[in-house]
Chain A
Amino acid sequence: MSTQKASTNGIVITLHDIHKTFGEHEILKGISLEVHQGEVLAILGSSGSGKTTLLRCINALEIPASGTVSIDGQKIDYSQKHSRQDVLHLRRKTAMVFQSYNLFRNKTALQNVMEGLHVVQKKSRDEARQEARKALADVGLSEFEDRYPVQLSGGQQQRVSIARALALKPSVILFDEPTSALDPELVSDVNEAITAVAKTGVTMIIVTHEIGFARRVASQVVFVDQGRILERGTPEEVIDHPKEPRVQAFISKLSYK
């Protein structure tokens, strides 16, 4: 299962036997996976299979019922007591790009990106501004730094949110269907931005329905089905030559679109 990249780089993220229930329903039924430094993991799966929930369990926006998450030396075993501080430390190893961008709407593009640098990482305003400008340049939005979110297109907003995540230099960036809320003609800009970020060696986990994009950007693919990982491997293995019938059906259905 380990890719070539993986053998040269250390493990950044380990999930072990993650379970999550909402009320009566067990949504995640024991998920384990590892992501190496610089790797891009794509999570595929049909709607309702638990992909978003899995992603949110990684940065503790949802608290798993049991299992361990460890990111770059920060570890929480959810079967045991853990404090708010533990959660915060773990979460600060990550950054997230949401489906609906979730930019702070009362702040400009630049302020959105500066916020975490200044408030969380305690950098001076000048330093934060400098780094935020660089992140905005990386996603091609230098001219838009003084715009408020409402003054930006969906694709631009999503790129600001990628810059906001990128600027924090987290151990991993989590993407939840970053282009699914966008008009089709804006998708490629955002995908290009993500690809560019991936090339800089940032570790990423991306939930996506875009097989073609996953194929291009991912070094590892997992297919989630009803709260379990049904198949995992390289894009060639999972997307081009899936073994499980359910994965085959899913891939062929999407590829015809």
Chain B
Amino acid sequence: MPTHVLQSVLPGLLQQVPTTLLYWFVPSAIALLLGTLLCIVRVGQHRVLYWACTVFISFFRGTPGIVQIYIIFFGLPKLFWAVHVDIDGWPAGAYFIIATSLNLSCFVCEVLKGGYLGVDHGQIEAGKSIGFGRFQNFFRVIAPQTLQISILNLKNLEIDVLKDTSVAYTIGAMEILGYANRVISNQFGVGQLWILGVAAIIYFILCALLELGFTAASHHMERHGRRS
């Protein structure tokens, strides 16, 4: 094993871990919020909003993520330019985060919707019957139970998102894979497989940690499902 290759590249790769985590975390946080709002509309009564969201969601679910990233990357500056706002200075990562947030929101919405439909309606009525207002019932009964039902599907989504941060390098945003590729081309391909292998191991470790986190969370949420 060419240890000097590793020695020279590992610190740089590790330095990119925070960026990768940022590209994972920010879209995840935004998508949890936006996906919840979309879900509320999707299970709600407002026809116009319902159809607007449905069209939005089918676009993001029915087209490749990479195409969406390109469209946002090239299209958004033009859109802003049309209203005389210059966003050319934005880093590529910002476009990646926007595209991923929108895409992920749609998937989160569908997962949450499935979870919501699985919530025992009797619990919602019990909340009403003890005098919970709409928001109290949402935050005290509906949201926690929806989350509990959805948690394993959310985990799968989140692991995909973490891995797909590697796509960011295609629009020039720097993260683990982007850095690896740059080093590889700087060295004219020397040690390519080793470098990619190390990158893969870093991704693997990050995914494993995420998996552990979710498993612990779902275990905590299901503590009341055990009989003893």
Contacts and interface: CB of A to CB of B under 8 A. Distances in A.
Nearest to A108: B224
Contacts of A115: 130, 140
B221 A91 contact: no
Contacts of B125: 61, 98, 102
A120 B140 CA distance: 11
Interface residues of A, number: 31
A116 B130 contact: yes
A102 B145 contact: no
Contacts of A116: 130-132
A84 interface: yes
Contact of B126 (A103, A119, A148, A151): A103
B228 A168 contact: no
Contacts of B131: 88, 91-92, 95, 116, 120-121, 168
Interface string B120-159: 1011011111111110100011001100100000000000
Interface residues of B, number: 26
A56 to B, nearest CB: 9
A106 B227 contact: no
A176 to B, nearest CB: 10
B64 interface: no
B62 interface: no
A107 B130 contact: no
Nearest to A99: B122
A105 B132 contact: no
A150 interface: yes
A144 B28 CA distance: 40
Nearest to A111: B224
Interface of A: 59, 61, 84, 88, 91-92, 94-96, 98, 100, 102-108, 115-116, 119-121, 148-151, 161, 164-165, 168
